[in-house]
Amino acid sequence: MGQLTVRPGHPGSPQLNLTPLKRSHALLDPAQLSDMAEEAAHDLMAEGESSNTRVSYRTAMRYWAAWFGARYGRQMDLPMPVPVVVQFIVDHAERSTKAGLVHQLPPEIDAALVEAGFKGKAGAPALNTLMHRISVLSMAHHLAKQPNPCTDSAVKALLSKTRKAYAKRNATPHKQRALTEEPFEAVLETCDDSLKGKRDRALLLFAWSSGGRRRSEVSEAVFENLRGADEGGYHYTLANSKTNHNGKVKPEDVKPVVGTAAQALEAWLEASGITTGPLFRRINKAGRLGEGALTGTAIRDIVKARCSLAGVGEDFSAHSLRSGFVTEAGRQNMPLQETMAMTGHRSMDVVTGYFRAGAAQVSAVARMMDSGSRPTPEE
């Protein structure tokens, strides 16, 4: 492939010399993180986050290193200068011009990053992706105890204006659709009585009904943390989650799995014969149970595949189970505190957006002009 060689020129104005090189000598090599950046990436992964989060951190750090190497012709190091972070933002954020939406990343670098596997496709990334990469860089500086360029007033002001610019174009950060009761029931209908069908039905109901479990929590669920409840169904103990890294079990970490969800889980355990280890496992092409737990990626793929089979749309993901639980709780006027106890949310700012969206759908205030919504005036 054509590789990228960068000749540093005047500071802030690197001159590019695009020279075909062999892949083995690629400048954009994921192994080329500097010692400090590598240490920061390891620190991030050591924070006790889920496997999915660790992968996203490392991916973001690799992208930073590859972009920096392509832009400046040397390995990335911390602390990052403020002008570099500003350059990263304008390279990846679209802005309106007379010629349409543009961003500053040179096409040659863009193509090389795609070719080397650091980007899925050419062009500006989603706003969510850009903000996530800035957040990861900020955390890397914090953990390395280095001056943080992401908290500089110029960077913060630029990010704020960038978000407002996207909002004015109705290009706000994308949120996965919430899988509320009606589409969720349609998804469950796609699960037949095969071993895979019983597994998927139990997995989906376990994740949704026990409070909208994260895919990492479903992937890491084990039989040993499941016990029967005196009142019927099960109690599942979240010994490790995004909000519980030390394994100390608190009352709110015990989640009920009852009703339809308990029935589906019981059917899966009976069919699979699982009595120890991971609750939700791979099933091979011959329809036989595997030993290893499903990964977070596999759980995401199950949700998307079942949604596609049900014909409810393509824009659902594993997180749709969590947002769907909260949104449905709002629709059914469930107490917010009880909902948060189930989900494990600590911040009301995070959960109330979905909760209020669900409540608004059944709001009488929103239907004041509907026929029959007003009381009949007394004669």
CA distances from 91 to 48, 107, 130 (A): 32, 11, 10
Phi, psi (deg, nearest 5) at residue 267: -65, -40
| Token reading at 76 | 């990335």
pLDDT of 277 over the 80 cut:
yes
Residue 30 pLDDT grade (very low, low, confident, very high; cuts 50, 70, 90): very low
Note the pLDDT of residue 315. Answer: 82
Segment of 18-22, 96-100, 183-187 carrying the highest mean pLDDT: 183-187
pLDDT of residue 14: 41
- Percentage of residues in the chain with pLDDT exceeding 90? 52
The pLDDT value given to residue 6: 39
Q: Is 6 helix (H, G, I), strand (E, B) or coil?
A: strand
Cβ of 5: how many Cβ atoms within 10 Å?
Answer: 15
Measured CA to CA, the distance from residue 94 to residue 165 in angstroms comes to 9
**And the tokens for 241?**
């989650």
Residue 294 has pLDDT above 90, yes or no: yes
pTM of the model: 0.61
Render pLDDT for 92-135 as a digit per residue (tens, 0 to 9). Answer: 999 988 888 999 999 999 999 999 999 989 999 999 899 999 99
Q: Is the pLDDT of residue 203 over 90?
A: yes
pLDDT in the model for residue 198: 97
In contact, 127 and 171? CB cutoff 8 Å = yes
Residues 24-43 have a mean pLDDT of: 54
DSSP bridge pairs for 236:
226, 255
Per cent of the chain over pLDDT 70 is: 74
pLDDT at 260: 95
- Neighbour-count burial of 353, counting CB atoms closer than 10 A to its CB (0-12 exposed, 13-18 middle, 19+ buried): middle
- DSSP tally for the chain: helices H, then strands E: 14, 9
Burial of 203: CB neighbours in 10 Å, binned 0-12, 13-18, 19+? buried
Residue 361 pLDDT level (bands cut at 50, 70, 90): low
pLDDT at 173 over 70: no
Given this model, what pLDDT does residue 354 score?
64
Give the domains, in start order, of the chain with CATH numbers: 5-168 (1.10.150.130), 181-361 (1.10.443.10)
Q: pLDDT of 62-86, one tens digit each?
A: 999 999 999 999 999 999 999 999 9
Alpha helices in 171-214, H assignment, sequence order:
181-188, 195-209
Q: Is 270 helix (H, G, I), strand (E, B) or coil?
A: helix
Pairwise pLDDT comparison (315 vs 13), residue with the higher score: 315
Residue 52 and residue 295 in contact, taking contact as beta carbons nearer than 8 Å:
no
Nearest to residue 300, comparing CAs of 363, 214, 375, 174?
Answer: 214
- Read off φ and ψ for residue 138, nearest 5 degrees: -60, -45
DSSP state of 313: -
